[in-house]
Amino acid sequence: MPKRDHSSGRSRGRRRLDADDLEWLERTPRFTAADFPDDGPPAGDRWSTWDQSTPTERGPRPHPGWLVTELAAVDTELGVLKTGKEADVHLISRGVPGTDRTCLLAAKRYRSAENRMFHRDTGYLEGRRVRESRMNRAMAKRTAFGRELIAGQWARAEFEALCRLFELGLPVPYPVQILGTEVLQEFVGTADGQAAPRLAAVSEGLDALWEQLVEVMVRLAQEGLAHGDLSAYNLLVHDGRLVVIDLPQIVDVIAHPAGPEFLDRDARNVATWFAAKGVPGADPEALAALLRREARVG
């Protein structure tokens, strides 16, 4: 009930529109959504997502000078670099329109729950259990929610592995940022977007590349780590230098119950490939023994 103004005898409710109000409304132009500009970027496919990641979701400081971090930057999709059963890798140009500030990034996007397989995750996910039993059950049963959780774990594991190895000085792409299940990292290739070849496609300079690889694997073992899925297909060769990629399944060989077996498998995969190419000293058993010694595991 509206309150009564006893001094005037009138209700103090909402004031009715008079003739002047109606005339003003008639003169006021009507606006629709078409009258307002789109909030999208002036060019490209999306605004840079840099400001959407928290400081802990960005790569190690200091950020490299080539990396575009301006909030005015936009991301432009340039195509797909690699497709996989768990994730696809896209080439992105991030730059500030109207300037020469630009960089190329590789965006690894883990697939949506209905399209993702994660055929390899059972062994790798040992020790990655979360606190809530409901989430653990969902991941164990591979429900849609569980697969979404697994995707987040894989993306987070890869980003954290890249950060750790980059800070150790190991040859990995610089981890730019993580946003949900998208891991943005340094593009390894030429300035015109030509990706560096995988080791499997390289036939020259293999002796030097073998020496580099042994050094990298020994350094990993000394940190108690194994790549977990190392092969000639997830090693890039850029300007004569090996670059290790695809790290979501990196294994703590001390904590994981099958840690030493992951060391052995990595050693067998790469040493067998180099031995088949005629590289002297590429002995799977000798490399596996070396890695176990360096990792101090039986």
Please tell me whether residues 52 and 117 are part of one structural domain: yes
Alpha carbons 206 and 211: distance in angstroms, whole number: 9
Q: What is the mean pLDDT of residues 64-79?
A: 96
DSSP 8-state secondary structure symbol assigned to residue 35: G
Q: What does the mean pLDDT of the chain come to?
A: 84
Tell me what the mean pLDDT of segment 82-104 comes to. Answer: 94
Residue type, 198: R
Of 125-129, 210-214, 265-269, the one with minimum mean pLDDT is: 125-129
Q: Tell which of 156, 186, 216 closes a domain.
A: 186
CA distance 17 to 24: 11
Active site residue 246: yes
pLDDT of residue 144: 54
Per-residue pLDDT reduced to its tens digit, 248-268: 889 999 999 999 999 999 999
- Cβ atoms of residues 160 and 89 within 8 Å: no
Question: Residue 23 domain-assigned?
Answer: no
Same domain, 131 and 231: no
CATH number at 290 reads: 1.10.510.10
Residue finishing a domain among 129, 162, 186: 186
Do residues 170 and 52 share a domain? yes
For residue 36, tell me if it sits in a domain: no
> Which residue in the list 246, 252, 266, 283 is annotated as catalytic?
246
Lowest mean pLDDT among 4-8, 60-64, 188-192: 4-8
Looking at the fold, whether 223 and 160 belong to one and the same domain comes out as: no
Q: Are residues 116 and 81 in the same domain?
A: yes
Work out the pLDDT band at 134, boundaries 50, 70, 90: low
Residue 177's pLDDT band, with cuts at 50, 70 and 90, is very high
287 & 165 share domain: no
Dihedral sign computed on CA atoms, order 217, 223, 226, 230: negative
Residue 88 known to be catalytic: no
Residue holding tokens 């103090």?
A: 12
Domain stops at, among 186, 210, 244: 186
Q: Which of 39, 75, 121, 229 is catalytic?
A: 229
Q: Do residue 229 and residue 109 come from a single domain?
A: no
> How many beta carbons lie within 10 A of that of residue 178, not counting itself?
25
Question: Residue 182 pairs with which residues in a beta bridge?
Answer: 109, 179
Name the nearest CA neighbour of 236 among 248, 246, 228.
Answer: 246
Mean pLDDT within 62-83:
96
Given this model, what pLDDT does residue 152 score? 73
Helices marked H in 52-130 — which ranges?
121-124
Please indicate, yes or no, whether residues 287 and 203 belong to a single structural domain of this protein: yes
At residue 272, the pLDDT reads 98
pLDDT grade, residue 44 (50/70/90)?
Answer: confident
Instruction: State what percent of residues in the chain have pLDDT above 70.
Output: 73
Identify the CATH number of the domain in which residue 67 sits.
3.30.200.20
The residue segments making up the domain with residue 286 are 199-295
Q: Is residue 24 part of a domain?
A: no
Q: What is the SS3 assignment for 160? A: helix
Q: Would you place residue 286 in the very low, low, confident or very high pLDDT band (cuts 50, 70, 90)?
A: very high
The reply to whether 206 and 176 lie within a common domain is no
Decide if 159 is inside a domain: yes
